[in-house]
């Protein structure tokens, strides 16, 4: 079998995990494009990055190439994986586009492929590129020791991927084979990229949870804390209720898309059903949505807090990526799609409006590249090639969000 050249874009938890995993896959050459290349190379042990899987297995491997120059990592790559937050994807695509092969199919995808990634990539990449994404990450990643190790959490039971403008059947089949070879799990093909765009994800989880924790109707509207807070282990009942409200409204949008656009969206089920189906082996108590989150061992993560200005206690870190990614590339896109399809989402709009007050859209919004004629021709939207969206023009130091 010929060697498959894979470029991972990113320097955070998931990029570390994929680099370690892929380094152990036969006939795969791994490169990493990250703004943190110097730090990564300086701290990495001679044997490379260590990944610890949920079952205790350990994989350690060193990528063949790590660079902050896309010319060093993207040229010759047959597969490019964006393992970065949604709000910096345009920056990454702008950087790599000149170095993507224009004469042969190249598979460029995002994990996960949410936030309208297909619409963004279609604007910025040449027509020979096969644009793809996954519904969920095959593994969650946490406990990163930069340049040294990372732990993998549980992933979903069903692994779904989608291709933008499906293209030739042999290309889709080849991509499926590649993904299964890299991750050593089975993948199934979604019939529309909307199955990824409308999937339940962090925006409809993080922001409602935070609204219940420090929002105007919470017990802590001043957002002051005496210690660290876990997203899910410390989830309040009010936060769980807000998640349930938002998820129910989002599922009404999913049903409207099925009815009006004829999309199957087979893997999209009500949130509680989705969690129990995909994470049942990790959930100790499935009696309510609140207990599902609190007892799900696959879900890690801490509420972003920093030491308070007066040195006493902690407060919310409003510079954290979720206030850009989940707000301007998550809830705002769901609200825009719902409005075009005349779906009422009062709770989600309430929380989205609150979240908008917490951060400026410094990196643009996903709605910048929502096709103006959506939902017409939703299954095969032709977007002008290389028409860069507003977010791609940012000159801000995006590497601090390279996670």
For residue 51, name the pLDDT band (cuts at 50, 70, 90). Answer: very high
The mean pLDDT of 319-331, rounded to a whole number, is: 96
Mean pLDDT within 148-166? 90
At residue 127 the predicted structure's pLDDT band, cuts being 50, 70 and 90, is very high
For residue 175, the domain's CATH number is 3.40.50.720
At residue 158, does pLDDT exceed 90?
A: no
The tens digit of pLDDT for each residue in 72-92 reads 999 999 999 999 999 999 999
Report the percent of the chain where pLDDT is more than 70. Answer: 92
Pair (182, 243) in one structural domain:
no
Residues 55 and 159 in one domain: yes
Task: Return d(Cα 373, Cα 152) in angstroms, integer.
Answer: 40
Would residue 213 count as lying in a domain?
yes
Residue 32, pLDDT > 50, answer: yes
Distance from C-alpha of 171 to C-alpha of 104, rounded to nearest angstrom? 11
Q: What is the mean pLDDT of residues 233-259?
A: 98
Per-residue pLDDT at 149: 98
User: What is the maximum alpha-carbon separation in the chain?
Assistant: 61
**Cα 200 from Cα 198, distance rounded (Å):** 7
Verify that 185 and 307 share a domain, yes or no. Answer: no
Instruction: Kindly state whether residues 186 and 246 are assigned to the same domain.
Output: no
Dist. CA 260–CA 274, nearest whole Å: 23
Same domain, 224 and 273: yes
In a domain, 393, yes or no: no
Instruction: Give yes or no: residues 112 and 222 share one domain.
Output: no
Q: What is the DSSP string of 324-385?
A: HHHIIIIIHHHHHHHHHTT---HHHHHHHHHHHTT---TT--GGGGS-TTTTTTTTS----T
**Whether residue 148 is found in the same domain as residue 227:** no
Together in a domain, 121 and 41: yes
Q: Which domain holds residue 43?
A: 4-192
- Decide if 182 contacts 81 (C-beta within 8 A): no
Average confidence (pLDDT) over 360-375: 95
* Range 34-60 average pLDDT: 95
Higher-confidence residue of 214 and 384: namely 214
Provide mean pLDDT across the span 25-51.
Answer: 97
In a domain, 101, yes or no: yes
Non-local CB neighbours of 175 within 8 Å, separated by 6+ positions: 107, 130, 132, 161, 163
Nearby residues of 20 by Cβ (< 8 Å), 6 or more positions away: 48, 49, 50, 51, 59, 60, 61, 150
The answer to the question of residue 286 being in a domain is: yes
Query: Which of the listed residues 192, 227, 243 is the one where a domain comes to its end?
Result: 192
Q: Which residues does 178 contact at the CB level (< 8 Å), separation at least 6?
A: 4, 79, 107
Query: Is there a single domain that holds both residue 286 and residue 155?
Result: no
Question: Residue 372's pLDDT is what?
Answer: 94
Task: Specify if 254 maps to a domain.
Answer: yes
385 within a domain of the structure (yes/no):
no
Beta-bridged to residue 29, according to DSSP, are 5
3 state SS of 162: strand
Predicted confidence band at 378 (pLDDT cuts at 50, 70, 90)? low
| For range 24-30, the mean pLDDT | 94
**Sign of the alpha-carbon torsion through 201, 21, 172, 12:** positive
Q: Mind listing the pLDDT tens digit for each residue in 138-150?
A: 998 999 999 999 9
pLDDT at 396: 31
Residue 157 has what pLDDT? 84
- Tell me, yes or no, whether 158 and 232 share the same domain: no
| Local structure of residue 3 (DSSP, 8 states) | P
Residue 131 sits in the same domain as residue 234: no
Tell me which of 142, 168, 192 is where a domain ends: 192
Q: Please determine, for residue 215, whether its predicted confidence score (pLDDT) is greater than 90.
A: yes
Backbone angles phi, psi at 302, to 5 degrees: -115, 145
The DSSP-derived string for 276-287 is: HHHHTTTBS--S
In the prediction, which pLDDT does 390 show?
A: 36
Query: Which of 192, 214, 240 delimits the end of a domain?
Result: 192
- Alpha-carbon distance of 86 to 334, in angstroms, equals 14
Asked whether residue 22 carries a pLDDT value surpassing 70, the answer given is yes
Does 83 map to a domain? Answer: yes
pLDDT beyond 60 at 46 = yes
Confidence of residue 153 (pLDDT cuts 50, 70, 90): confident
Pair 128, 252 in one domain = no
Which range, of 30-39, 158-167, 209-218, 311-320, averages the lowest pLDDT?
158-167
Listed in order, strand segments (DSSP E) in 3-98 are 4-9, 28-33, 49-52, 58-61, 65-67, 79-82
Average pLDDT over residues 345-365: 96
d(CA 154, CA 279): 8
Does the pLDDT of residue 20 top 50, yes or no?
Answer: yes
Residues 6+ apart with CB under 8 A from 250: 198, 200, 204, 271, 334, 345, 348
Residue 313 lies in a domain: yes
Res 386 pLDDT > 70: no
For residue range 164-214, list pLDDT tens digits in order: 976 656 899 999 999 999 999 999 999 999 999 999 999 999 999 999 999
CATH of the domain at 247: 1.10.1040.10
Q: What is the domain count for the chain?
A: 2
Mean pLDDT along residues 378-403: 37
């Amino acid at each position: 079998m010929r060697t498959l050249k894979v470029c991972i874009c990113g320097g955070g938890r998931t990029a570390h995990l994929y680099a370690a995993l892929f380094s152990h896959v036969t006939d795969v050459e791994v490169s990493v494009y990250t703004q943190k290349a110097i730090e990564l190379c300086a701290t990495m042990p001679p044997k490379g990055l260590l990944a610890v899987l949920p079952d205790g297995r350990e994989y350690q491997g060193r990528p063949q190439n790590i660079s902050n120059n896309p010319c060093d990592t993207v040229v010759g790559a047959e597969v490019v994986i964006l393992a970065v937050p949604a709000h910096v994807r345009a920056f990454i695509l702008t950087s790599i586009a000149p170095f993507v092969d224009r004469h042969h199919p190249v598979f460029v995808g995002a994990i996960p492929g949410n936030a309208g990634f297909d619409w963004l990539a279609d604007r910025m990449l040449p027509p020979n590129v096969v644009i793809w994404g996954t519904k969920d990450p095959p593994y969650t990643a946490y406990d990163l020791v930069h340049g040294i190790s990372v732990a993998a959490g549980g992933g979903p039971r069903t692994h779904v991927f989608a291709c933008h403008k499906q293209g030739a059947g042999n290309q889709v089949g080849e991509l499926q084979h590649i993904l299964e070879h890299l991750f050593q799990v089975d993948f199934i093909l979604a019939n529309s990229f909307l199955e990824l765009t409308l999937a339940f994800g962090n925006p409809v989880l993080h922001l409602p949870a935070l609204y219940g924790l420090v929002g105007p109707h919470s017990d802590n509207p001043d957002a002051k804390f005496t210690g660290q807070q876990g997203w899910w282990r410390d989830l309040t009942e009010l936060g769980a209720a807000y998640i349930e409200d938002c998820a129910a409204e989002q599922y009404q949008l999913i049903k409207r898309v099925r009815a009006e656009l004829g999309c199957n969206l087979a893997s999209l089920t009500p949130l509680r059903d989705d969690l129990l189906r995909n994470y049942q082996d990790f959930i100790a108590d499935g009696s309510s949505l609140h207990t599902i989150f609190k007892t799900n061992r696959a879900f890690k993560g801490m509420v972003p807090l920093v030491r308070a200005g007066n040195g006493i206690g902690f407060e919310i870190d409003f510079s954290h990526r979720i206030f850009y990614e989940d707000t301007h590339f998550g809830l705002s896109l769901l609200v825009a799609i719902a409005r075009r399809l005349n779906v009422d989402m009062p709770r989600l709009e309430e929380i989205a409006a609150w979240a908008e007050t917490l951060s400026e859209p410094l990196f643009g919004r996903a709605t910048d590249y929502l096709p103006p004629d959506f939902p017409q021709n939703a299954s095969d939207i032709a977007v002008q090639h290389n028409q860069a969206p507003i977010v791609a023009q940012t000159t801000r130091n995006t590497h601090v969000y390279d996670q």
